[in-house]
Amino acid sequence: MEEIIAVGTDEAAMSAAEAVAESEGTVQTAPKKRKHHINQQKLWDNIWGWLFCLPLIIGTCWFIYSTLIMAFLLSFTTFRTGGQVSMWECLAHMGDYIAKDLTGATNAFYWYKALFTEKVSGMDRVTLIGMGIELNEMGAYLLNTVFYMIGIPIGMILSVFFAVCMSRDIKGGNVFRVLYYLPCVASAIAIVYTFKIMFGSTGVINQLFGLGNFHWISEGVEGAYTWQNLTGAPISTNAFMMDPYWCQGFFMKLVIVIMSVWKGLGGTIILYVAGLSGVNAATKEAAQIDGANGWIIFWKVTMPDLYPTIFYNIVTSVIGGMQIYAEPEMFMNSAYSGGNVMVSGYVALIYKYGINMKYASRGAAYGMFLAVIIFVLTLFQFWLDSRKKD
Amino acid sequence: MDNENKDRILPAETSVTEEAKNYSSFRYAVGAILAFFGFSSKTHRASKKRAKLVADIFTYIVLLAGAFVMVYPFWWMIAGSFAYTIDGTGGSGLLEKMIWWPETSTLTIPTSGGGTKAELFFNYRTLFTSAFAASGLKVTYWRSLFNNLLYSTVPVVVGVITSASAAFAFSKINWIGRNVVFFMLLAAIMVPGPSLMITQYVMYSDMGWTENALVLIIPGMFGSIMTAFFIRQFLFGLPTSIIEAAKIDGAGYLRIFCQFILPLAMPAIMAQGLLSFMGCWNNYMGSFIYLSQNSKWINLPHAMYILNASPSSNLGVVIASSVMCVLPVIILFGCFQKLIIGSLMLTGSKE
């Protein structure tokens, strides 16, 4: 009782003192005030920190995380766009819309199973069966995607070579950097149309290299393309080299690889030039004095220093390479018809089922599988990297 | 001067020594030629200056050849846009044969009287007036150009500012949950876009955004994670003492951001803004996935795809439209190349 009173009086006394001090403007109360001020500062720090970050957080949660969760859930349902059920309703009553087998039995993983069992369909199937081939659809599209990745090592070697040339002490190195970067800023669709005509059967490339009437690109209109052999005649034989799937598609994919290497070179060159400028000059000089020639210096001094840049570049290129979609579609004019078994990348399947054929659930399942592939590939690369360091 | 003379005399001296007699005259000659081109051998030692000169010449040849390969398609595109390609069959033969200059340029357009007339910008005129309607598009060229400008300015300007504000919060303010949020954003980068394509499409069409331009404007306004990370790296380089001083002077965070951070980080913000402008200008996928072929809101690359795919397409006009799509970005890049390349170099050295 006494204590309480004491405390009470103490507080009262203090507040009174404070009031007096405040009115008088003395320094006695300064420590207490500052403490109070710091707490307020921390509060403002938190409020403003969150406020400044809020748009980005909202955007990420709304457009990336929520759609990711919805895609994951949708991939187990039978949801179709343009149907009577909206996506929200389907997700709210997921139990009623779980994917079913052809027999009617519930099978949540039906679309994932279809991914592995679905054969190439439509006109391609007719042509392929005529040639005695039956292809797994996902396999064919994934094979195309992997084929485009041969551009990654080619582009890497070329860009390291050019970057080494540019980082020499020569005049006009900056001009070259700008010129090499031009294709990176150009619109992909404009580049595709230019390359398509340049690689035409009577085009520049055939004229310059004396390749005669070589058909790099199969010609056709949207949705229906003609199967031709390399001289342009319609095919009528099952001979292996006349097989358009392995042969003609091959050269067309090669053109796309050339184009993507050409288009991406400038960006990687700049990364490598930046990486090369960080190479330790002192180590280089020491190696030179010890009698190492340029070749040995490059492999033993420059490359180890450049390794982080190369690794970063490979990881991002593989992630980007798995998502290739627009270039092959523009080459074949097959974007609206939902891809082409000869050239389209895996993403074309997602578009084909999810948007073109309106099976959003199926497209979502295919998309989830792509995310898993990319995740595993990235993990694999980091595992290789960690093994190298040990 | 003295050093140079030494370098020059050195090979002569070494070649006269007795050891040189052991080599055959053929080997001696080869050594001399190699030394001329800057390679040292047992018979001759090349001067360092000569070696550098030869290496420089080699470098220039390689770089010029590479630059030719890089620039030639652009030259081809510009020259091709002046080709007259209407030959009745609608094929690409007339344009394909071109190497340096079109065989049938728009300077010799056949007239009904049997003569020729010159109209240098025939393809461009067709593109601006009748080509879009002829290929079944519901927009004119100017409308799609306006759409493209809209999609590549409004979201980019707003998005870069929101990204910069997030970067400011990450680099200069201490708040609870900062690391958790940072990790969450980092993880979001790893989610591949095509995996989300379908649900985003369904969500946007449910909200009614795919009937107008909102789908290509609103999401971009929330900022980009990569841009935020880059500006954050840049802001780490700025001294915190400026902000402390401003705080002591009584400035709030909003004022610090507007009056200190935005001007100081302008190079990084400009560079990132320009890069995203170029990305949005060339963005074909967004318009293609979300907007229908008959929409009034489709952008230039999407319209170009339809223009090219239509059976009535004239390839000269398609190439002219390619030039019109590429030219603005190239000019913009030419004006700001120092800024953009500098910022890219910074990203490269950070990795």
Distance from chain centroid for Cα B13:
54
Question: Which pairs from B254-261 meet CB under 8 Å and 24+ separation?
Answer: B254/A48, B257/A52, B257/B165, B257/B168, B261/B164, B261/B168, B261/B172, B261/B235
- Which residues are CB-contacts of A35 (< 8 A; sequence separation ≥ 6)? none
- Which residues are CB-contacts of A275 (< 8 A; sequence separation ≥ 6)? A163, A305, A306, A308, A309, A310, B348, B349, B351
Backbone torsion region of residue A339, taken as left when φ is above 0, otherwise alpha when ψ lies between -120 and 50, otherwise beta: left
C-alpha closest to that of B153 among B245, B336, B277: B277
Q: How far apart are CA A32 and CA B313, in angstroms?
A: 80
**Burial of B322 (C-beta count, 10 Å sphere; 0-12/13-18/19+):** buried
Q: Domain coordinates of chain A in residue numbers?
A: 42-100, 122-389
8 Å CB contact of B59 and A168 = yes
C-alpha closest to that of A190 among B341, B40, B322, B219: B322
8 Å CB contact of B281 and A187 = yes
Overall average pLDDT of the A48-59 stretch: 92
Distance from chain centroid for Cα A182:
21
CB B147 within 8 A of CB B213: yes
The β-bridge relationship of strands B109-110 and B116-117 is antiparallel
CB A104 within 8 A of CB A121: no
Q: Which chain A residue's Cα is nearest to B336?
A: A178
Q: What is the pLDDT of residues A297-315, one digit of tens each?
A: 888 888 888 888 899 899 9
8 Å CB contact of A74 and B198 = yes
Q: Domain coordinates of chain B in residue numbers?
A: 2-69, 131-344
* Nearest Cβ partner for B195 among A48, A71, A262: A71
Instruction: Name residue A357's amino acid.
Output: M
Point out the least confidently predicted range of A149-158, A273-282, B105-114: B105-114
* Nearest Cβ partner for A277 among B95, B96, B349: B349
* Nearest Cβ partner for A200 among B96, B178, B257: B96
Give chain B positions within 8 Å (CB) of A145.
none
Is B100 an 8 Å CB contact of chain A?
no
Overall average pLDDT of the A339-352 stretch: 86
Q: Which of A142, A161, A185, A358 to mutate against chain B (most B CBs within 10 Å)?
A: A185
Q: Exposure string (b/e) for B108-142, b if CB count within 10 Å is 16 or more? A: ebeeeeeeeeeeeebbbebbbeebbeebebbbbbe
Q: How many helices (H) and strands (E) are present in chain A, helices listed first?
A: 18, 2
Query: Of the spans A4-8, A225-229, A283-287, which averages the highest pLDDT?
Result: A283-287
8 Å CB contact of B60 and A170 = yes
Name the token pair of A66.
Answer: 């929520």
**Burial of A224 (C-beta count, 10 Å sphere; 0-12/13-18/19+):** exposed
Is B315 an 8 Å CB contact of chain A?
yes
Q: Give the residue with greater pLDDT, A341 vs B6.
A: A341
Confirm or reject CATH 1.10.3720.10 for domain A122-389, answering yes or no: yes
101-160 of B, contacting A, C-beta below 8 A? none
Say what the pLDDT of residue B64 is.
93
Q: How far apart are CA A97 and CA A102, in angstroms?
A: 14
**Burial of A72 (C-beta count, 10 Å sphere; 0-12/13-18/19+):** middle
Is A289 an 8 Å CB contact of chain B?
no
Q: Which chain B residue's Cα is nearest to A64?
A: B188
Q: Which chain A residue's Cα is nearest to B187?
A: A65
Q: How far apart are CA A234 and CA A161, in angstroms?
A: 42
Residue A323 has pLDDT above 50, yes or no: yes
Is A376 an 8 Å CB contact of chain B?
no
Give the residues across from B110 on adjacent strands. Answer: B116
Distance from CA of B61 to the nearest CA of A (A): 10
149-168 of A, contacting B, C-beta below 8 A? 161-162, 165-166, 168
Q: Which chain A residue's Cα is nearest to B255?
A: A48
Q: How far apart are CA A141 and CA A147, in angstroms?
A: 10
DSSP assignment, residue B129? I
DSSP assignment, residue A26? -
- Which residues are CB-contacts of A239 (< 8 A; sequence separation ≥ 6)? none
260-279 of B, contacting A, C-beta below 8 A? 278
Confidence of residue A57 (pLDDT cuts 50, 70, 90): very high
8 Å CB contact of A351 and B173 = no
Please, how many CA atoms are within 13 Å of residue A214, restricted to the half-sphere of its CB? 17
Is B77 an 8 Å CB contact of chain A?
yes
8 Å CB contact of A45 and B173 = yes
Q: Exposure string (b/e) for B85-98, b if CB count within 10 Å is 16 or more? A: bbeeeeebebbbbb
8 Å CB contact of A88 and B206 = yes
Q: Which chain B residue's Cα is nearest to A347?
A: B194
* Nearest Cβ partner for A52 among B166, B196, B293: B166
8 Å CB contact of B194 and A336 = no
Say what the pLDDT of residue B132 is.
86
Q: Which chain A residue's Cα is nearest to B293?
A: A336
* Nearest Cβ partner for B192 among A165, A181, A323: A323
Count other Cβ atoms within 10 Å, centred on residue B61.
11
Q: How far apart are CA B339 and CA A174, in angstroms?
A: 12
8 Å CB contact of B289 and A336 = no
CB B272 within 8 A of CB B334: no
Helix (H, G, I), strand (E, B) or coil at A334: coil
71-100 of A, contacting B, C-beta below 8 A? 71, 74, 81, 86-88
Say what the pLDDT of residue B315 is.
84
Q: How far apart are CA B34 and CA B37, in angstroms?
A: 5
Helix (H, G, I), strand (E, B) or coil at B38: coil
pLDDT in tens, chain B (351 residues): 444 444 444 454 444 444 555 677 888 788 888 877 777 777 777 777 887 888 888 899 999 999 999 999 999 999 988 888 776 555 566 777 778 887 777 777 777 777 777 788 888 988 898 888 888 888 999 999 999 999 999 999 999 999 999 999 999 888 888 899 999 999 998 899 999 999 999 999 888 888 888 999 999 999 999 999 999 988 888 888 888 888 888 888 888 888 888 998 898 999 999 999 999 999 998 898 899 888 889 999 999 999 888 877 788 888 999 999 999 999 999 999 889 888 888 876 655
* Nearest Cβ partner for B315 among A48, A197, A347: A197
Helical ranges in chain B per DSSP H:
2-16, 25-36, 48-80, 93-96, 122-126, 132-134, 141-172, 178-189, 193-207, 214-221, 225-236, 241-248, 253-256, 262-264, 266-281, 285-290, 300-309, 315-335, 337-350
Say what the pLDDT of residue A105 is.
79
Distance from CA of A132 to the nearest CA of B (A): 32
* Nearest Cβ partner for B195 among A189, A274, A371: A371
8 Å CB contact of B69 and A262 = yes
Overall average pLDDT of the A376-385 stretch: 92
Q: Kindly report the CA angle at B144 between B142 and B146, in degrees rounded to 5?
A: 70
8 Å CB contact of A166 and B63 = yes
Distance from CA of A81 to the nearest CA of B (A): 7
A to B CB pairs, distance under 8 Å: 302
Q: What is the pLDDT of residues B294-350, one digit of tens each?
A: 888 999 999 999 988 887 778 888 899 999 999 999 999 999 988 988 888 887 665
Q: How far apart are CA A90 and CA A77, in angstroms?
A: 8
**Burial of A179 (C-beta count, 10 Å sphere; 0-12/13-18/19+):** buried
8 Å CB contact of B63 and A81 = no
Top-tier CATH class for B131-344: mainly alpha
DSSP assignment, residue B216? H
